[in-house]
Amino acid sequence: MQKLVAVKGMNDILPPDSARWEWLEDKVRNLMARYAYRNIRTPIVEPTALFVRGLGEVTDIVEKEMYSFEDRLNGEQLTLRPEATAGVVRAVAEHSMLYEGGKRLYYMGPMFRHERPQRGRYRQFHQIGAEALGFPGAEVDAELILLANALWRELGLQNVRLELNSLGQPEERKAHRAALIAYLEQHQDVLDEEARRRLHSNPLRILDTKNPAMQAVVEAAPRLIDFLGPESLAHFSAVQAILSANGVQWRVNPRLVRGMDYYNLTVFEFVTDQLGSQGTICGGGRYDYLIEQIGGKAAPAVGWALGVERVLELLKEQGHAAPVPVPDVYAIVPSEAAVPLAMATAERLRAMGLRVQMHAAASGGAGMGSMKSQFKKADGSGAAHAIIFGEDELARGMVTVKALRDGAGAQNEQPLDAVADWAPLLQSKG
């Protein structure tokens, strides 16, 4: 029978690597609480129309990358979410969450895009995101950027630069779009096939091209920032002033446009040079028209998402090792007769907050295994102590506690009827 394996680009996350994910998620939860952001969890499957309407019909995601299918029961067109913002906005609108005022939300979870798997870019990938909905001010744009910047500090990441731009408002973009199309039409001989296809449907995305042959034309193209009115410029200046007041370094990148159609005013990316072509580890911006666009009551909003795989890859690249959890105690059980009492003791220790790994019988009918093999497994577990449920000690109502790390080899007997007295001595100091 053929061996079944995972879908290409959709990866298993196995121990001990999964500990790095848990460590990152714990850091995020703690930080989000300090900024008063609350968790939201939305479905992995959403109506296809949500992304077509929200992200834009001529975006790469909608045109090429979505996993879409027809529900066999009712014919509904459904899609595995390629990003989470549209789903969060749909939930906020559907449940009238802004009725009593703005909301600060965050999420974690898998997203899906059908693209060529490469380093830091997979078909099932994971994002952590923060969204502030119902707040129009530049201070909230800046708050979200400060939140992301604080996360890099918490994780110990270095050499991550912040790039900013403003996409202005629809009428400003419309004027820029007309000028941009007129300019690019004069250079059609330099445009690649993808750019020519987008020339009249989504010319702003041409500015984000990675084609070296087009860079000179793109650099000389009309800049959107030159079409912004006083209010848009004031909003952008306010964001920059708050960041500067907080010691955050940034640079304006007039070619930064992001990949979704829903953005307006502030857009930003955190970028590294250590991950090759997948250098953006976090990006976002303001999307004041998206809630109304998907059928809700008009309200301002701003947010960002980071790529978990890319952040973890960058941590590894910079030599940051996330702590791997290990048990405090390994229970060594020489005979099967001692198993019930050993397991009862382990349960008492766990109830007191200790992490206990029980030795289990080997396959193949070999019983509990030799003491030598059990000690080898105890040492390999990383536990600081072993508790030995030997026949002689149990006959006296005792167990032997042996140090495996600090003071390795030192051992003493402890009474089973006073577990609460000596259990704290086994608690890990790490």
Tell me, what CATH number does 346's domain have? 3.40.50.800
Nearest to 329 by CA among 303, 358, 309: 358
Q: Which of the two residues, 53 and 61, has the higher pLDDT score?
A: 53
Q: Which pLDDT score, from 0 to 100, does residue 239 have? A: 97
Q: Which pLDDT score, from 0 to 100, does residue 126 have? A: 96
**160 and 282 both lie in a single domain:** yes
Domain termination residue (choose one: 317, 352, 386): 317
**pLDDT tens column, 61-81:** 787 888 899 999 999 999 999
Residue 164 has pLDDT above 90, yes or no: yes
* Residue 273 domain boundaries: 17-168+228-317
Residue 365 has pLDDT above 60, yes or no: no
Q: Provide the domain count of the chain.
A: 2
Q: Which pLDDT score, from 0 to 100, does residue 305 have? A: 97
Tell me, what CATH number does 60's domain have? 3.30.930.10
**Any domain includes 1:** no
**293 and 346 both lie in a single domain:** no
Q: Which pLDDT score, from 0 to 100, does residue 313 have? A: 93
**115 and 245 both lie in a single domain:** yes
Q: Which pLDDT score, from 0 to 100, does residue 204 have? A: 79
**276 and 343 both lie in a single domain:** no
**Any domain includes 350:** yes
CB crowding 299-312: b at 16 or more within 10 Å, else e: bbbbbbbbbbbbbb
**Any domain includes 188:** no
**Any domain includes 235:** yes
Q: Which pLDDT score, from 0 to 100, does residue 430 have? A: 54
Q: Which pLDDT score, from 0 to 100, does residue 32 have? A: 98
Percent of the chain with pLDDT over 70: 97
β pairing state of 385-388 and 67-70: unpaired
Helices (H), ranges, 186-307: 193-198, 215-219, 230-245, 290-293
**pLDDT tens column, 389-409:** 989 889 999 999 999 987 777
Residue 210 has pLDDT above 70, yes or no: yes
Q: In which region does residue 133 sit, left (phi positive, over 0), alpha (psi from -120 to 50) or beta (all else)?
A: beta
**Any domain includes 430:** no
Give the sheet arrangement for strand 385-388, strand by strand: 356-358, 329-332, 385-388, 398-403, 411-415
**337 and 303 both lie in a single domain:** no
Question: Under DSSP, is residue 255 helix (H, G, I), strand (E, B) or coil?
Answer: coil
Classify residue 55 by its DSSP letter: H
**238 and 299 both lie in a single domain:** yes
**pLDDT tens column, 301-333:** 999 999 999 999 999 999 988 888 899 999 999
Domain termination residue (choose one: 293, 317, 341): 317
**Any domain includes 113:** yes
**pLDDT tens column, 117-149:** 777 678 999 999 999 999 999 999 999 999 999
The interaxial angle of helices 17-34 and 138-155, nearest 10 deg, is 140
Confidence of residue 20 (pLDDT cuts 50, 70, 90): very high
Token pair for residue 372? 């030598």
**Any domain includes 278:** yes
Domain termination residue (choose one: 317, 340, 357): 317
Residue 12 has pLDDT above 80, yes or no: yes
Mean pLDDT (the chain, rounded): 90
**263 and 349 both lie in a single domain:** no
